[in-house]
């Protein structure tokens, strides 16, 4: 799996850096080509000479060397996968907010390959809300976080915070590389976010969708090697480079953006919360109180999922969402057949930790072949993996 693969190994300032030397040896033994990047403080823990000797490559650490402005972009593109092990508290925080004061961070921000982090820190730091928030943020960028283990820490205390062992890191790298092949070259179309249907220049009808679930599905499809087109309604979430994003506002815009893409997509996931109705007239000037408007005339929007279902060929997998408050299974199955989808992902508003504006979700997937898959409540990044796994399995059945 690792023969000939290009691995970037980022090492930050942590006592766990000694394990990265072992990881480097394992990677070289497995036939990988490895380039090592150190943060300035990492050199206090491991010697560049050891790393350059083992990797047979110059160790990189300087952002300001001649021509290095171009190097960080090329390094990010050169790699098949980028692992940062150990990832210190400081580097995690900088990655989460886009800071760029060393080469490792610059490469991270330019990387188009999968990024894996193996955090290492003391337990109190590991459990601090700011670190928890930062790691959650990194997950929303599609980065994989390898869980820390429990044991003796650099402080002499016992607890969570030890970096995973080199053999475990190697397994994660192999899995990440395997995943990048699963949908290699496949075109995918994803819709996400709400739509806004204008009443006048200052008011609109919309819903509580943040776009998070659909964006995470787009990222997950991309991490499996797919070429992803994301048609995104108004959302405050930034989308990582590598995905082609078309920003839209209304259901009509979303329909127009999707229509030309449907034919070429082998996988279509419609996760957007598209408004079913839009105002018949969108006033060009602000509607005044004095106009005494008490009734809104609405017209039905075009159903994008249904359109894709009508155009669908046997080579395409079409996935829709159903958000239900009652008769959940019956309604989801009705949607599966009425929209001619291959799968419907049901999320229930009756679940406390699921749905709009939440970081977690509880889903059940129904497919056209009659299967039904239930999943526990979990972070939306994990839910995205479950959905993409189901799509891949369905394609292979
Ligand atoms: N959808 C769509 N275009 C629309 C409306 C919905 O593509 N104009 C898609 C959504 O992205 C989602 C699925 O259809 O994948 C289900 O949307 P929903 O609004 O729940 O379905 P409806 O058929 O409108 O049913 P109802 O509102 O009655 O539950």
Q: Give the model confidence (pLDDT) of 185-217 as tens digits.
A: 999 999 999 999 999 999 999 999 999 999 999
Separation of 103 CA from ligand 1 center, angstroms? 45
Confirm or reject: Cβ of 272 under 6 Å from ligand 1: yes
pLDDT of residue 127: 94
Catalytic residue numbers?
Answer: 207
Closest alpha carbon to 113 in 81, 142, 141: 81
Query: Checking phi first, is residue 355 left (phi over 0); if not, alpha (psi -120 to 50) or beta?
Result: left
Residue nearest to atom 14 of ligand 1 (CA): 305
Confirm or reject: Cβ of 320 under 6 Å from ligand 1: yes
3-state secondary structure of 223: helix
Separation of 221 CA from ligand 1 center, angstroms? 22
Residues 6 or more apart from 367 whose CB is under 8 A from it? 336, 342, 343, 373, 390, 394
Percent share of the chain, pLDDT over 70: 98
pLDDT at 70 over 60: no
pLDDT of residue 299: 97
pLDDT at 73 over 80: no
What's the CA angle centered on 22, arms 72 and 158, to 5 degrees?
105
Q: Which burial class, exposed, middle or buried, applies to 229 when counting CB atoms under 10 A from its CB (0-12, 13-18, 19+)?
A: buried
pLDDT of residue 68: 52
Locate the ligand 1 atom nearest the alpha carbon of residue 335 and give its number: 23
Confirm or reject: Cβ of 332 under 6 Å from ligand 1: no
Locate the ligand 1 atom nearest the alpha carbon of residue 302 and give its number: 8
Residue nearest to atom 17 of ligand 1 (CA): 322
Closest alpha carbon to 273 in 236, 242, 314, 305: 305
Confirm or reject: Cβ of 211 under 6 Å from ligand 1: no
Separation of 195 CA from ligand 1 center, angstroms? 12
Confirm or reject: Cβ of 199 under 6 Å from ligand 1: no
pLDDT of residue 193: 97
Q: Give the model confidence (pLDDT) of 295-327 as tens digits.
A: 889 999 999 999 999 999 999 999 999 998 889
Q: How many CA atoms lie within 13 A of 63 on its CB side?
A: 11
pTM metric for this prediction? 0.84
pLDDT band for 343, please (50, 70, 90 cuts).
very high
Locate the ligand 1 atom nearest the alpha carbon of residue 251 and give its number: 8
Confirm or reject: Cβ of 274 under 6 Å from ligand 1: yes
Q: Give the model confidence (pLDDT) of 37-62 as tens digits.
A: 999 999 999 999 999 999 999 999 98
Mean pLDDT of all residues in the chain? 93
Separation of 344 CA from ligand 1 center, angstroms? 11
Confirm or reject: Cβ of 304 under 6 Å from ligand 1: yes
Separation of 224 CA from ligand 1 center, angstroms? 27
CB 218 within 8 A of CB 226: no
pLDDT at 369 over 60: yes
């Amino acid at each position: 799996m690792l023969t000939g693969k290009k691995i970037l190994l980022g090492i930050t300032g942590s006592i766990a850096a000694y394990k990265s030397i072992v990881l480097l040896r394992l990677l070289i033994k497995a036939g990988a080509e490895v380039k090592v990047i150190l943060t300035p403080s990492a050199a206090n823990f491991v010697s560049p000479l050891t790393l350059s000797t083992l990797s047979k490559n110059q160790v990189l650490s300087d952002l300001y060397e001649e021509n290095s402005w171009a190097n960080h972009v090329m390094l990010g593109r050169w790699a098949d996968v980028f692992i940062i092990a150990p990832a210190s508290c400081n580097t995690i925080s900088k990655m989460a907010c886009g800071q760029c004061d060393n080469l490792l961070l610059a490469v991270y921000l330019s990387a188009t390959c999968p990024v894996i982090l193996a955090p290492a820190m003391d337990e109190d730091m590991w459990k601090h809300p700011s670190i928890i928030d930062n790691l959650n943020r990194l997950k929303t960028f599609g980065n994989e976080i390898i869980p820390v283990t429990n044991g003796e820490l650099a402080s002499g205390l016992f607890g969570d915070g030890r970096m995973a062992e080199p053999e475990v890191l190697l397994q994660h790298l192999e899995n990440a590389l395997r995943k990048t092949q699963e949908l290699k070259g496949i075109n995918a179309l994803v819709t996400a976010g709400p739509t806004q249907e204008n009443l006048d220049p200052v008011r609109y009808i919309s819903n509580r969708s943040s776009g998070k679930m659909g964006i995470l599905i787009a990222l997950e499809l991309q991490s499996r090697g797919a070429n992803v087109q994301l048609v995104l309604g108004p959302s405050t979430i930034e989308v990582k480079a590598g995905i082609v994003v078309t920003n839209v506002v209304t259901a009509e815009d979303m329909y127009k953006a999707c229509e030309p893409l449907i034919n070429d997509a082998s996988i279509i996931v419609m996760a957007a919360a598209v408004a079913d109705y839009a105002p018949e007239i969108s006033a060009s000037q602000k509607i005044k109180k004095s106009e005494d408007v008490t009734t809104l005339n609405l017209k039905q929007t075009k159903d994008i999922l249904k359109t894709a279902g009508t155009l669908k060929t046997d080579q395409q997998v079409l996935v829709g969402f159903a958000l239900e408050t009652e008769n959940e299974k019956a309604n989801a199955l009705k949607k599966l057949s009425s929209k001619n989808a291959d799968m419907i992902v049901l999320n229930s508003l009756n679940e406390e930790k699921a749905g709009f504006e939440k970081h977690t979700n509880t889903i059940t997937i129904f497919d056209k072949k009659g299967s039904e898959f239930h999943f526990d409540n979990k972070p939306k990044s994990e839910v995205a993996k479950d959905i993409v796994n189901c799509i891949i399995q369905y394609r292979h059945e």
